[in-house]
Structure formats: structure tokens, C-alpha cells
Structure 1
């Protein structure tokens, strides 16, 4: 807000000076008309679309400016010689007279701007160009969002399962499953008896704590399959912890755990309706596979991750 306010105040100050400068040179032109006037006076006939592209303004904005300038007889509209459906914009008699009259103003304004920039420690043009380039690469919103995530990451801990987290493990999974699908027999087996179904068979469960509250869970389920050691399953993050990067942290931690257990290949099942989850798996390095039997009706995509 401070940056925007400073730029707006500077813009208002420059606009006031611009009004006085046009008056000083007896040029009856509003500053806001100048970009359109300059393009047409320097390049001849142009369509509104061409002008909008050249000056970086919207088509409706340029169209409105042209109408105002036509009304003042600075511009006139004429049919395109090659396409009668298209109108071009050209200088009217008043505009042509103004184009000759404004030349001295160009010379003096250019020298005044150059002198101001020479007296500046930092060249404003270069600074603005650099700032715009940086924001094109990553918006201020995205930058703030990342800083928020970094700050909140200090309050996130990924820990191994303890019996006291049995209920959160079940509730977090039931919450997201019932939000999109229905609970199935395989869900009940894993969630009702996580120690017996997952841990006692050589699997692992990780819990994500945010300020010591369990907000995310993820499991490695031992597989009896020639190509896969574990299934990454039962990953769920509370909606109230959304946007903190907990899913990615859980995914990284569970893959690291799998590697420490000597795993080579990890398998998972999901559904393409869960777009954020699918994007997360791709971000973690999973790739799509096909042809593996599944106990879940909701599964329509299968993926694998190779640790070696």
C-alpha cells in the first residue's frame, strides 16, 4: 500500500505539472490523451486495436479516448482502404496543427526529464522496469504467500505416530473422504486399526502438528507386490490448515522415511477430481502408471515414485 500510495502521489504531482506545461505552450491537449496523440502523430493512421497494443492500454480505454478527441476535432475516423469494415484513426486539422505546435514542448520536456534523471542517484526508468520485471516473474501476492508459508513452517512439526493420535488419524481421513466420496471397506480396515493394519506389518504413519495440534496425516502401507515396497496412503490435511504447505512437507517426510527403510518403489492411488492432491504428487516426483488391481472404487489414477 505504501509503494502504491507513493507512486500514486508522484503520478498526481506529474499530472498537475503536465497540465501547466500544456498551458505554458498553448497546446489544447489533455495529458491523458497524449499517448494516443503521439502514436497517431508519429506513425500516421492506426486502428484502435493497434494503438491499444502499442501504448499498453485496454481497447475500451483507447476507444473512449478516441471518441473524446474526435469530438474535439483533434482526431478523425476513416474507413480502412483495404477493409471497409475497419475504422482507422488519423489526425484531424486541429491535430495536425497541434503536432507542429508541440515540437518545442517535446524538446524542452525531454531535456528537463534527462536533467532530473541525471541529478538522481537512481534512474527511475530503470528502477521501474526492474520492479515490473520482478513482479511479472512473481507477483507480490505470490511473494507474500510464500513468506507466509515460510513463517508458518516454523510452527509445523512432522512426527511419528503415537497411540494418542489414533482418533485424529481416523477423523482427518474420514473428513476428506466423505467430503468427496464414501467410506469403503479398505478405509475402515486401515482407519479402525492403524497399529494392526499398518504399523505391525512394517508400515509407518506420520503426523503433522501445527502449533502442537494434529492437522495432517500420512501412511506407508507395506505391499505384497513384486514391483512396489510400500503404498503411500491415507494422506489427509485439515481444511483449516490449508495453504501452509503441510501436504508437501508430509509427502517429503514419508518418502524420506521410505528411503530409510530401504524401499525402492512407492505406489499410490487417487482420483483425478482431487486436482490439488494430484498436482502435489507430481510435484513430489510421482509418475502415472496403469494396470494394478485396486480395492477402491474411487481410484481412477495410479502413480509411482522410484527412490533409486
Structure 2
């Protein structure tokens, strides 16, 4: 148990597999003492077929929560052992069902005492334990149905990496990164336009000296994302030139930049933030909706790629 004490909850899957293997090995011995010719992994299929009515492999799989290929493999093994057989549907010859053979039916009669003893043994073990593992399994199955372990780990990874991101004000040393990040992003989806070159080559003249701001996202000290607030009037800014490095995908950088830009605009007493985008950029549009932007129209755009305009009202 030293390994599990050291590895902790990271070894949850390994520990559950170890417990499962131990129970499965002991279950095989239980079948032996009752004289039942049964592989423990066959039990869910056997139990499902012991109920009245014919069932297809798909129906069995759905009932016991296994995959179709898994059930198909088990059924083949059980057919070879003489416990189940295929029968054609009387209504449709193209369909086949799986049923217990005479031997399988005899096993079902003899196994009832085993069921009673096993159930009593498990109940006794549960009564002796501080924590009810059966209830815990039910709860974990529910929780993982709501949000699987992979998604939970991905969310934790994103949260940790997001906490390591710094959003800083633009400095002259960031000019090359500001240009490179935007050129890479724009060129991936569209083509660079004249207005892009002006603002990216001369951010001081076209953004900063006109009352705008540029934010840079740093991860481990390296620029991985950027966005700009371009002043459009006394109380309105445009959220523009948002770009994130493909290498930083999944860290929530776009959301962090958007939130920081909104907070900056609020500090500057802005009442509105405007942006332009394109509907093919579904993740970006989803992000803007998450940040509170709503679709508007009617403002002339200098960009050919713009086919949607959005606005956020601040207070």
C-alpha cells in the first residue's frame, strides 16, 4: 500500500482496478464452490438474459452499460461454453436474439442460492465498513456522467495555467510580439488588410497616442496573447487586435484578455465597448457572448472580413 499512500488520489484508477481484479479473482473461486461454470465477466450478460424475453446484443449492451463490441465478445465466449445461443426473430429473419440454452437455464436455477449468499456476504461487509462503497460508487458514477474525469482534469489544467498568466500594459519591447501574434492569427483565417498593417506597424501613432491601450498576456514571461482598446469617442472604445498564440490554446487567454480590457475601459470611464468579428470564428463569438457583448449593426467598418458587430454596455 506504500505506492498508493505516496501517489495518493492520482492513483485512483489503478487502485480501483486493483480492487476490481481482487474481487474478480475471488468471484471466480465463489463460482467454483457452487459448481457453476461461469466466468465472472459474463455475469452482467447472463443476469440480463435470465430475465424473460429475447434480447439483441444491442439491447443487452444498453441494459448493462457495456459497449456493443464488449457484449458481442462475451456472447461469443458464452456460446462456445454452451450457456447461450442465437435464435432468429420470428417476425424478421434478419434479426437475431440471444437466449439461454437449456444448460444456461439450469445454471440460472442452481445459481439462486449463490446469489443469496453473495448478497448476504456483501451486506455484512458493508455493515462492517465506515464508508458505504456501494453508495459511493453510485455517487461517483453520477458525478462522472455530469462531468467526466478528463474534462475535470482539463479544467484544473486550464485554471492552473490561467493563474500563471500575467496581463500587462504594452511596452515598446512588445511591439514585435504584438505584430507577430496578430499577423499569425489574421493570416490563418483571412488576409492582412491595409488597416492591419497601419495599426500593427505603428501602434503608437494609430492606437496609443490617440488615447488607446494595448494589453499583453505573458506566460512564463513570454508574450502569448494581446488585445487593444482603440478610442472611438469620449466614452467608447473598440476592442480590437485580439490574438492568442496557437501554442497557448486551452489556457483561457482570450477570456483573461477580454476581462482585463473591459476592466481597463471601465477605469477610463467608458460607457461602451465595440468590436468587429466574423461569424466563422465560432469560439471567438462564443467568448464575446460570454463577456456580455451583444450584436449591433450600422457602424461602418474598414475591414472586408467583418460581418458581425457587437457592443457591450458598461453600467
The number of residue pairs the alignment matches comes to: 306
Instruction: Show the counterpart of 1:247.
Output: 254
Instruction: Show the counterpart of 2:97.
Output: 88
Once the two structures are superposed, the pairs formed by residues 1-308 of structure 1 within 5 Å of their partners are 2-223=11-232, 229-308=236-315
- How far residue 10 of structure 1 moved from its aligned partner, in angstroms, is 1.2
C-alpha distance in 1, partners of 2:245/2:77?
Answer: 55
C-alpha distance in 2, partners of 1:102/1:212?
Answer: 66
Tell me whether 274-283 or 16-25 shows the greater mean CA deviation. Answer: 274-283
- How far residue 270 of structure 1 moved from its aligned partner, in angstroms, is 1.6
- How far residue 88 of structure 1 moved from its aligned partner, in angstroms, is 2.0
Which 4+ runs in 1 deviate beyond 4 A? none
* Secondary structure in structure 2 of the residue aligned to 1:244: coil
TM-score (norm 1): 0.91
* Secondary structure in structure 1 of the residue aligned to 2:210: coil
Name the CA shift for 1:67/1:182 in 2 (closer, same or farther; >3 Å): same
Deviations 1:109-162 (A, max 9, x none): 111111111111111111112222222222322222333333333432222223
- How far residue 291 of structure 1 moved from its aligned partner, in angstroms, is 4.1
C-alpha distance in 2, partners of 1:41/1:84?
Answer: 23
- How far residue 83 of structure 1 moved from its aligned partner, in angstroms, is 3.4
Deviations 1:268-302 (A, max 9, x none): 11223333322222221222334432211122222
C-alpha distance in 1, partners of 2:157/2:72?
Answer: 42
C-alpha distance in 2, partners of 1:41/1:239?
Answer: 55
- How far residue 56 of structure 1 moved from its aligned partner, in angstroms, is 0.7
Name the CA shift for 1:268/1:106 in 2 (closer, same or farther; >3 Å): same
C-alpha distance in 2, partners of 1:79/1:263?
Answer: 74
Structure 1 stretches of 5 or more lacking a match?
Answer: none
C-alpha distance in 1, partners of 2:276/2:83?
Answer: 67
